Structure 1
Amino acid sequence: MFFIVCGEDTFRSRRKLTALREHFLNTRDASGMNVVRLNRKDHGLDEVAGALFATPFLAEKKLVELEGFLKAPKADRERIKEMIGRKPETTIIVFYEPEGADAFKDDELFGLLRRQKYSEEFQPLSGMKVDRFIREQVGSHGCRIDGKALRELVALVGTDSWLLYHESAKLCAYAAAGGGNAVTVEMVHELVNGEQDESVFAFLDACTGGQPGQAARILEGLFRSGVSELQVTAMLQRQVRLLIGVRDLMNRGVRNKHEIAKRLGVHHFPAGKAMVAARTLSLEALRDRQEDLLEMERRLKTESGRSRAILNAFAARFAASRIVA
């Protein structure tokens, strides 16, 4: 049996991955001794083979999670394809990729896996899905949110599911502390800091300006304001995606901020700011930084106690690159 979970919305895709693992533990392996989690950054194909072909320990099945292996070199992907073709029926494989299907559209292995019964892609939230997601998050805390407050929350935070998750939890905790269960627009104005994006832009400006010390101070300011490390990472990912979109359009000759904003579906003000920042970096450099952020997100979720060091290391690496287009 194979599962593939992918998509740019890493909050919902990782939540799905966790749900699959927990279902396996609850129904197949309460001991947890037959769950193996491997990622391409830290593990090689020999370890993958060992996990796939090992006999389950005192259980009928074993679960092997493989993260990032669909981005491996072609020769490695061919070997993976060969291995999964002869793996024992006792092994369940879950492939996880923090990117959308478009990133693998020409890959034979990905195409094979996508044709399987259990395949799910989590695209970024948009339209009514954003409203539904927020109401589900608020409802999970026993609260409700009115339409005006919901629209204001989206205006301030955007549609990033990680940020919406954290902000919804914060708003619900505040409502409960006051003895109620309704999230109001006044609470959104009081608790949700729309200036956080400004700080993220300032952080990126400091990085591209070769000022890692200033970038580190901006990060500390965000942390002091109550923003978590994962929230900072999510905001950085959103801004770098915007920079990539802007830089790509600029490379194709689009130089009007209103036209860029229209094509990217954003307000012209952040589009204009992104144009200024994107002039100093090549598209290749920005995509490299996007890869860095995906790796940083993974490390933040797996390496406890080192989050600030990981973020500061990213700032230093970004500042050191300074690749000008």
Structure 2
Amino acid sequence: MLIFLYGQDNFRSRRKLNEIIEKYQKSQKSGFNLRRFDLAETDFQDVFSEFQQSSIFQEKKLLVLENVFSSPNLKEKLLENEKALLESKDAIVFYENDKLGKIAEKNAFFKFLHKEAKSQEFNLLIGQQLRSWARKELTKRKCEIEENALEKLIEFIGNDLWRFSNEIQKLSSFKSRIDMDAVLLLVKPKIETDIFKTIDCIAAKKTKTALKLIRQHLEDGENPLYLFSMMTFQFRNLLLVKSLEKEGTHHGNPYVMAGKLGMHPFVFSKTMRQVNFFTLEELKKIYRKIFQADLDIKTGKVQPDAALDLFIVTI
């Protein structure tokens, strides 16, 4: 039996891999025939030799092969032995920890696995899928979360499920019903340092540098919708702080301002540093552009990555 696990969300794919291993260990008590190889670290010949060997026990073997796509030699050898792979009585799991990309997906071995193996792709969760996943994780810990607190948690963390899982564990240990106050108290927002740098560049009219920073995020596999949401989040914060400054009701007290806005101290300190680079009218104009870009993305008029570029260029 061939199993192929891949995709950018390596939290859920790793969890699935561990479930397969645990199930095997329960059914095959000796554990002698579980073999794990990481092709980023192991010579392909060692793996191929293991594939060719028969078990001296009656038990089926479980071979876990990680990062096979980093070993061209092994891919070729396995394709040459396609018939033996398909007829094997052992379970062979091909696990890819990182995003494969379009080039790998055109590879002959990828096509073979996609066709012949039990394939499961783990894409990054967004929107309702992410909310549902978070609620299920909280339910496992006998914990509930208020709707606005969940939205704030997603806003702070994004779809990094490794961190999300850790924050859920921390919050559920704190109280059984999580509210906004708990999230603001315990969770530090995940606003990439480069997002603050990008906004600094926008303020200084360094458009090329701002575009370069965004491009780097995209090349590193960041979701353009997530990046756009972070830009929106921070410009919204700037507009809120600037508006409150103009009201003059806080008497210059940063703690009063942060509390009134429900803003995390980390974000507030960064926002206070940036807010003087913009006038209130400039921020209102930028926020209108954000609204239009968001509308264009949702109606399919423009792709998210193009909307990001256009937004930065036209500010």
**TM-score in terms of structure 2 length:** 0.61
- Equivalent residue, structure 1, for 2:185: 190
SS in 2 for 1:115: helix
Alpha-carbon distance in 1 for matches of 2:194, 2:233: 9
- Name the aligned partner's letter for residue 32 of structure 1: G
Report the structure number with the largest CA radius of gyration.
Answer: 2
- Name the aligned partner's letter for residue 30 of structure 2: S
Does 2:229 align with 1:266? yes
- Equivalent residue, structure 2, for 1:66: 65
The superposition leaves residues 228-258 of structure 1 with CA deviations (integer Å, 9 ceiling, x where unpaired) of xxxxxxxxxxxx997331799xxxxxxxxxx
CA change 1:21–1:189 in 2 (3 A) is same
Q: What root-mean-square deviation, in Å, do the aligned CA atoms of Structure 1 and Structure 2 show?
A: 3.3
CA change 1:190–1:158 in 2 (3 A) is same
Is this contact kept in 2: 1:77–1:109, CA < 8 A? yes
CA change 1:152–1:79 in 2 (3 A) is same
- Equivalent residue, structure 2, for 1:145: 145
Alpha-carbon distance in 1 for matches of 2:226, 2:132: 25
The superposition leaves residues 72-113 of structure 1 with CA deviations (integer Å, 9 ceiling, x where unpaired) of 23x442112123532462321100112346442210111110
Alignment length, in residue pairs?
219
Query: What is the aligned counterpart of 1:77 among 75, 78, 84?
Result: 75
- Equivalent residue, structure 1, for 2:44: 45
| Percent identical | 25
What are the ranges of 5 or more consecutive residues in structure 1 without an aligned counterpart? Answer: 176-180, 206-239, 249-259, 274-325
Is this contact kept in 1: 2:62–2:91, CA < 8 A? yes
Is this contact kept in 2: 1:67–1:97, CA < 8 A? yes
Alpha-carbon distance in 2 for matches of 1:92, 1:9: 23
The superposition leaves residues 254-282 of structure 1 with CA deviations (integer Å, 9 ceiling, x where unpaired) of xxxxxx97795433268999xxxxxxxxx
Q: State the Cα distance separating 1:12 from its structure 2 match.
A: 0.4
- Report 1:103-252 matches (<5 A): 103=102, 104-175=104-175, 181-194=176-189, 197=191, 201=194, 243-245=216-218
What are the ranges of 5 or more consecutive residues in structure 2 without an aligned counterpart? Answer: 199-212, 236-269, 271-315
SS in 2 for 1:3: strand
CA change 1:17–1:144 in 2 (3 A) is same
CA change 1:3–1:168 in 2 (3 A) is same
4+ residue runs of structure 1 moved beyond 6 angstroms?
A: 260-263, 269-273
Alpha-carbon distance in 2 for matches of 1:22, 1:86: 26
Q: State the Cα distance separating 1:25 from its structure 2 match.
A: 1.2
Q: State the Cα distance separating 1:115 from its structure 2 match.
A: 1.1
**TM-score in terms of structure 1 length:** 0.60
CA change 1:38–1:247 in 2 (3 A) is closer
